[in-house]
Amino acid sequence: MSESKTRRIKPQTLRGFRDFLPDQMMAREHLIDTARAVYRSYGFAPIDTPALEYAEVLLGKGGEESDKQVFRFMDQGDRDVAMRFDLTVPLARFAAQYAQELGTPFRRYHIGPVWRGERPARGRFREFMQCDFDTIGTTSNSADIETLFVIHDLLEKIGIERFTIRVNNRRVLNGLLEKNDLQQHAVGILRTLDKLDKIGRDAVSAEMVEKVGITTEQSGRVLDMAQLKGSPDEILSALDRMLAGSTTGELGLSNLKELFSAVSSCGIPAGRVSLDVSIARGLDYYTGTIYETLLGDLPEIGSVCSGGRYDNLAELFTAQQLPGVGASLGLDRMLAALEELGMLKKTTTPAPVLVTMFSSDHTNDYLKMGRLLRKAGIGAEVYPEAKGIGKQMKYADKKGFRLALIAGADEFAAGSWQIRHLGNGTQVAADESDVVKTVSELLSQSAECSAATLTNQ
């Protein structure tokens, strides 16, 4: 009889989806922890929502292009459902559902995966993580200004020194459309204008004429404003003349002037915030201030933290007014940027210390040392079996431990341990009672050196 063959399934991931190895997850979790700490420092509280929503909750909120990218299907044959394409639209549903319980203003952050059926590209995937923060229930411009502050502090905390937060206000753009009797074409014009950096003025103008249905002269006036250059004060002065008489445009200008005044008063370094009238943001729900953040050393990777004000997003869910403003860190794009900039330290272990094992007769001593270190708040892994020092050091180097503790028969007889610094190969001896203190001091010195190196990059 012939032996039956087992059919092997090829191990592979879907296009646009990824597995993450330990070194990648370490970097992701560190970035998430950084974002979480910054958000919490401003008083934002965590929430979570389901990956699946009723399709009607998501569709029509982000625009025609977003609707095309939604993963949508019939659940158990009778429910039309879709996977969230961002975290802001589910927030609108969430805020409307729990408004009375939460109260306003309500500050939340939400870190979770979203899904878009778009063409995968550099730094762009079909499943990716967003790190959102939003303020709900106020139209105050101070909330818009603090949104910018959070973006700024987040980039600084990540370790980025050269970056620019580009801001604009949808009311400025809408004011120009009002003055030129183009309000009925607003959605098409703003979506096309959002392509200006990618395809250039001539192509944008042609698309506005051919697809949106405005004249070449009208597209020229829109693009003349969008391409204003200079300092924020110079651009604001030019906009004052262009938008005079437009209530909508003048309100947008007033908000921008307050924002740049606060930027100056609150110590944001000059040059880190710019006024760019070409920014429209592709999503339809933005109504006021909008933000994009470019890295000075890697602008081609695109915006790593974007967002804006949306005053009408919850109106389909409730009669209560729930205006909001917020932004989102593009986690995967930021990680791709940090890797290109050489700012990601490769490590596959969250524990900085490896307790090596030389003799199985002293297994309990090694395990005890591991517990002593952990009780002191120091992560430690105990090598699980007695092996040669060479093999254990190779393991330690591969995983990225910073220190290794070594003790054999001579050390146990003397009541001491050897502590090897794996970065520079130096080694010191410490009495057993001083091991935890010495390890703590060495790790602190190592962390200070790493921070100094990162700062000087």
Strand 52-54 vs strand 79-83: parallel, antiparallel, or unpaired? antiparallel
Q: Which one, of 422, 453, 433, lies nearest residue 352 by Cα?
A: 422
Burial letters 54-70, b for 16+ CB under 10 A, else e = ebebbbebbeeebbeeb
Residues listed for the chain: 457
Give dist(CA 377, CA 168) in Å, integer.
46
**Domain identity same for 160 and 246:** yes
Half-sphere exposure of 333 (CA within 13 A, CB side): 23
Contact indicator for 269, 309 with CB cutoff of 8 Å: no
Side chain identity, residue 447 = A
154 exposure class (CB count in 10 Å sphere: 0-12, 13-18, 19+): buried
Number of alpha helices (DSSP H) and beta strands (DSSP E) in the chain: 16, 16
264 vs 258, 267, 415, CA distance in Å?
A: 10, 6, 60
10 falls within a domain: no
Provide the pLDDT for residue 204.
92
Write the CATH number for 186.
3.30.930.10
**Domain identity same for 252 and 154:** yes
Q: List the structure tokens of 15.
A: 């296009």
What is this structure's pTM? 0.86
Give dist(CA 341, CA 348) in Å, integer.
20
5 falls within a domain: no
**Domain identity same for 295 and 438:** no
**Domain identity same for 271 and 413:** no
Give residue 434's domain range.
353-455
433 falls within a domain: yes
227 falls within a domain: yes
67 falls within a domain: yes
**Domain identity same for 327 and 394:** no
**Domain identity same for 336 and 357:** no
Whose tokens are 């790790």? That residue is 443
Whose tokens are 């990716």? That residue is 128
The overall longest dimension of the chain from CA atoms, in Å, is 91
Give dist(CA 305, CA 189) in Å, integer.
23
Write the CATH number for 451.
3.40.50.800
Q: Which of 318, 340, 362 is the last residue of a domain?
A: 340
**Domain identity same for 315 and 380:** no
Q: Where is 391: in which H helix or E strand?
A: helix 389-399
Q: Which of 340, 374, 395 is the last residue of a domain?
A: 340
Q: Which one, of 199, 264, 200, lies nearest residue 231 by Cα?
A: 264
**Domain identity same for 121 and 239:** yes
Q: Which one, of 60, 284, 306, lies nearest residue 173 by Cα?
A: 284
**Domain identity same for 53 and 189:** yes
Q: List the structure tokens of 96.
A: 């409307």
Provide the pLDDT for residue 115.
94
Show pLDDT as tens, one digit a residue, over the chain (457 residues).
455 578 899 999 999 999 999 999 999 999 999 999 999 999 999 999 999 999 999 988 767 777 889 999 998 778 999 999 989 889 999 999 999 999 999 999 999 999 999 888 766 789 989 999 999 999 999 999 999 999 999 999 999 999 999 999 999 988 988 888 888 888 888 888 888 888 999 999 999 999 999 999 999 988 998 889 999 999 999 999 999 999 999 999 999 999 999 999 999 998 899 999 988 776 677 899 999 999 999 998 889 999 999 998 788 899 999 999 999 999 988 998 999 999 987 789 999 999 999 999 999 999 999 999 999 999 999 999 999 999 999 999 999 999 999 999 999 999 999 999 998 999 999 999 999 999 999 999 876 555 444 334 3
Provide the pLDDT for residue 312.
83
**Domain identity same for 28 and 145:** yes
Query: Which ranges constitute the DSSP H helices of 159-213?
Result: 170-179, 186-193, 196-207
**Domain identity same for 261 and 368:** no
Provide the pLDDT for residue 195.
86
Q: Which of 313, 340, 367 is the last residue of a domain?
A: 340
- Please tell me the total count of domains within the chain: 2
Q: What is the DSSP string of 111-159?
A: EEEEE-----BTTB-SEEEEEEEEEES---HHHHHHHHHHHHHHHHHHT
287 falls within a domain: yes
1 falls within a domain: no
